[in-house]
Structure 1
Amino acid sequence: MLMNSPDRAAVLRYEPNGFTMLSRGNHVVCAVSGEAIALESLRYWSVEHQEAYATPELATKRLLGQ
C-alpha cells in the first residue's frame, strides 16, 4: 500500500516498470487533460517525458505530438 497525503499532488519519478515517490501525495496530474489521477489508478506514463496520463488515448495523443 502506498503512503499518501490527502488532497496533495505527489511528485514521482517515472521508471520503465513503475515509479518512485519523491514527494508524498494521493494523486498526480495528467499532462494532457489536467485531471487528477489517483495513484491507485495510475497506469500510463512516459519515462522519457516524466509525465502521467489519465488514459491510453491521452498518452498516445501526447506521444504523437497532437
Structure 2
Amino acid sequence: MNRIELPRAFGEARIQYLDGDYKVLSQGSYVRCAVTGLQIPIDELKYWNVEFQEAYVDASASLERHRQRQR
C-alpha cells in the first residue's frame, strides 16, 4: 500500500517535532500554526520549532514568533 492508498485521518494531529523530522503521536490531517492559528496539512508541514514544539504555516510566521520571543 502506498501513501496515496492509505486512509486519511481527520482532525488535528499531535506531533513531536524533532531536528529535521517529526513523529506523529496521534493521527490527524493537520496541525495548527502557533502564530496564526491556521490549519497546516501534515503533508505541507515545513516549519517548526523543536525547543518550543510549535508548528508554523510559513517562514514569515516563524520569523514573527522569533521576534515575539526577543521582546
Normalising to structure 2: TM-score of the pair?
0.84
Alpha carbon RMSD of aligned pairs, Å? 1.6
Work out the CA distance in 1 between the residues paired with 2:57 and 2:22. Answer: 15
Question: How far off is 1:65 after superposition?
Answer: 1.1
Work out the CA distance in 2 between the residues paired with 1:64 and 1:48. Answer: 15
The amino acid across from 1:5 in the alignment is A
Q: Percent identity?
A: 34
Question: How far off is 1:53 after superposition?
Answer: 0.2
> 2:33: which partner in 1?
30
Structure 1 consecutive aligned stretches of length 4 or more whose deviation exceeds 6 Å = none
Aligned residues: 65
Matched, 1:18 2:21: yes
Larger Rg: 2
Listed as ranges, the gaps of 5+ residues in structure 2 are none
Matched, 1:39 2:42: yes
